[in-house]
Structure formats: structure tokens, C-alpha cells
Chains A and B, each alone.
Chain A
Amino acid sequence: MEAIFDWIAATPINSFVLDSAWTWPTLETLHFIGLCLLMGALLVMDLRLIGFERAIPLKAVHSLMPLAIGGFVINLVTGVLFVFGDPHRYGINLAFQLKMLLVLLAGLNFWLYYAKVEPRLATLGPTDATPPLAKTVGAVSLVVWFGVLAFGRLIPYIGTG
């Protein structure tokens, strides 16, 4: 692992992130904006899946997916740049490792949504109740993503090595 961190630290991306004092705060600000877009879209989509507001047509709620994916992509790009900027710090950080584990879980949950839940929703009327699997996937998504947010914010404080 140490060799990988050293290699990352020697890349031009590392110097891009570190050379200007403004780059890191700018990336952080973008990371915050991206998480707001992702979580805002997820709150509406997942709460509809759980059954909180059935007046929202199921198809309409799906129109928020580009906002969620857009927010995620902003955070993927800025997040990768953080790791390239300070690989040794993130590599050994417990909160970061737990955060990545939860991102992986969120990814599996997202796959479950597309493979099993979405096809079922397509057969339902716009304001129908959702099946139990849809409720579970929605609840897991919210819990896991808020966990990602919490562990991300705790990176400076937990398991810093």
C-alpha cells in the first residue's frame, strides 16, 4: 500500500491539488455543494419509495435521478482529487475507510434498485403504494448515504493514525 501512496504523491495531480492554496478549499466547497444536490434528490426519491408522500407520481420522482447522479459525480471527482492530494493521510484513516465501505454498500443498493425495484415500479400506477423491497431499498439508501456524509465529516477526528 505504501508504494501506491508514494506513487500517487508523485503524480502531477498531487501537485495540481497542493500547489495553489486555493485549490483545496475550492474542492471542499464543490464537495459540499455536490453532497447537498445528491442528498436533496435522494431525500425526495427515497422518502417516496418508503411511502412518505404518495401524491408524488413515481415517474416524477425518478426525474430527480440526474440531479442525484450529477451531485455524486461532482463528489467523485473532487473526492478522488483529495485522495491524490494527500494519499498517506486518507490511506490510513479509519473514518475514510468506513466511508468508502458505505459508498460501496450504497452502490450495491443502487444496483438492487435498478435490477429489482425499478422494473416493479414501472408496472404500478403513479400514486400506488410501493412494494416492501422498494421501501427497504429506500430506507437503506438514506441510512447509508447519511452515514457516508457523517464519516466523511469525521475524517479529521476518527482514526487519524
Chain B
Amino acid sequence: MGIFVWLEQTWLADWVRVSVLGYPLMITCHAIGMAVMVGLASVVGLRLLGAFRSLPYSALDRFFAIAWLGFGVNLLSGIGLFASQATSYAVNGVFLTKLAFVFLGAIAVAYLQAAAVRSPVADAAPPSASVRAVAAASLIFWTGAIVMGRLTAYL
């Protein structure tokens, strides 16, 4: 618990909690990063499940870099938001469930990037059953992250 107490007393936590700019800036960056990461993960996931068949997998590759940029924005803004109330977030079951969903979603996207998009798959061929399973799981994980993230504000 000591580390969360310390985190909550850092200048960053103080700035997010107290200043006029801190919290609105962090929460807005967090929404933008979410739109980029989850939005692109949705396009990739739906594509691998059979939607937008004319989109070549190989052409989606460069969008992963943008998706990870969005993820990075949310990692940084998320650290700021977490620090501002570290001791309560650290024991908040709803928030920790969200964090688990984000972790699983990021692993799923990394897997899809390596296994489906970067490997030389014929664009006409349907992806393997395991890739489709991870694509579906990715959509579920990110939906779960959004649901639990929103609920964190209420519960």
C-alpha cells in the first residue's frame, strides 16, 4: 500500500487532482487514445472475422503503429489519472477488472499483429481458427474494458 500512498503524494497526482487543467486534460487524452486503440482494434478484429473482405491484411499493418500510439497516450494519461487517487483505485474491484481487460486486449492485439497481419497470409484466404478466436476475444476484451472503465466512475 506504501507505494500507492507515495504515488498519491507526487506532484503529478497533485496536479491532476487540484489544478484546473490537470484532470480535464488527462481524461480528454484518455478518451482520444481509447478511440484510436479500440477503434483500430475493432477494424482489425472485424476484418479478421470476415467483414470488409476487400481490405488486404497486409495494408492494415501500418495502422498498428497508430493503434499502439493511442495505447501509449492512454498508458501515460492513465498513470496520471491513477496517481491522483492511487490508494482507492488500487483496491477498486471494478477498476482492477478494467485493467485486466486492457492487459488482455493489448496482448490480443499484439498477437493479431504478429500472427495474422505481418505473416504472409494470402489476402483471399480466411484466417486460421485460432486467429479468428483471438480476434473475437480482442473485441470482447476491449468492450469489457470500456464497460468497466465507465463503471469505475459510478461504483
A63 on the B face (CB < 8 A): yes
Q: A36-B35, A150-B32, A157-B24 are in contact. Are A43 and B146 (CB under 8 A)?
A: no
How far apart are A139's CB and chain B's nearest CB, in angstroms? 15
**Pairwise interchain contact A40-B42, C-beta atoms closer than 8 A:** yes
Most interface-central of A28, A44, A53 (chain B CB within 10 A): A44
Chain B contacts for A64, CB-based, 8 A: 43, 52, 55
B110 on the A face (CB < 8 A): no
A126-144 interface code vs B (CB 8 A; 1 in, 0 out): 0000000000000000000
**Pairwise interchain contact A40-B39, C-beta atoms closer than 8 A:** yes
**Pairwise interchain contact A32-B150, C-beta atoms closer than 8 A:** yes
B40 on the A face (CB < 8 A): yes
**Pairwise interchain contact A55-B54, C-beta atoms closer than 8 A:** no
Instruction: Tell me, in angstroms, the Cα distance from A128 to B51 when the chains sit together.
Output: 24
B3 on the A face (CB < 8 A): no
Closest chain B residue to A151, Cβ basis: B28
B27 on the A face (CB < 8 A): yes
Instruction: Tell me, in angstroms, the Cα distance from A149 to B70 when the chains sit together.
Output: 14
A27-61 interface code vs B (CB 8 A; 1 in, 0 out): 01100110111111111100100001101110111
Instruction: Tell me, in angstroms, the Cα distance from A33 to B55 when the chains sit together.
Output: 22
Q: Taking chain A's interface residues, is the majority helix, strand, or loop, or is none over half, making it mixed?
A: helix
Chain B contacts for A153, CB-based, 8 A: 24, 27-28, 31
Instruction: Tell me, in angstroms, the Cα distance from A54 to B95 when the chains sit together.
Output: 40
**Pairwise interchain contact B35-A35, C-beta atoms closer than 8 A:** yes
Q: A61-B55, A154-B28 are in contact. Are A29 and B147 (CB under 8 A)?
A: yes
Stretch at the interface among B56-64, B84-92, B112-120, B126-134: B56-64
- Within B99-155, the residues touching A (CB, 8 Å) are 142-143, 146-147, 149-151, 153-154
Closest chain B residue to A56, Cβ basis: B59
How far apart are A135's CB and chain B's nearest CB, in angstroms? 17
**Pairwise interchain contact B54-A60, C-beta atoms closer than 8 A:** yes
B38 on the A face (CB < 8 A): yes
Most interface-central of B58, B59, B62, B153 (chain A CB within 10 A): B59
Instruction: Tell me, in angstroms, the Cα distance from A150 to B26 when the chains sit together.
Output: 11
**Pairwise interchain contact A40-B32, C-beta atoms closer than 8 A:** no
How far apart are B71's CB and chain A's nearest CB, in angstroms? 13
**Pairwise interchain contact A56-B55, C-beta atoms closer than 8 A:** yes
Given A32-B34, A40-B35, A146-B32: 4 more A-B contacts, CB < 8 Å:
A32-B31, A35-B31, A43-B40, A63-B54
Q: Which residues of B contact A (CB under 8 A)?
A: 23-24, 27-28, 31-32, 34-36, 38-43, 46, 51-56, 58-60, 62-63, 66, 142-143, 146-147, 149-151, 153-154
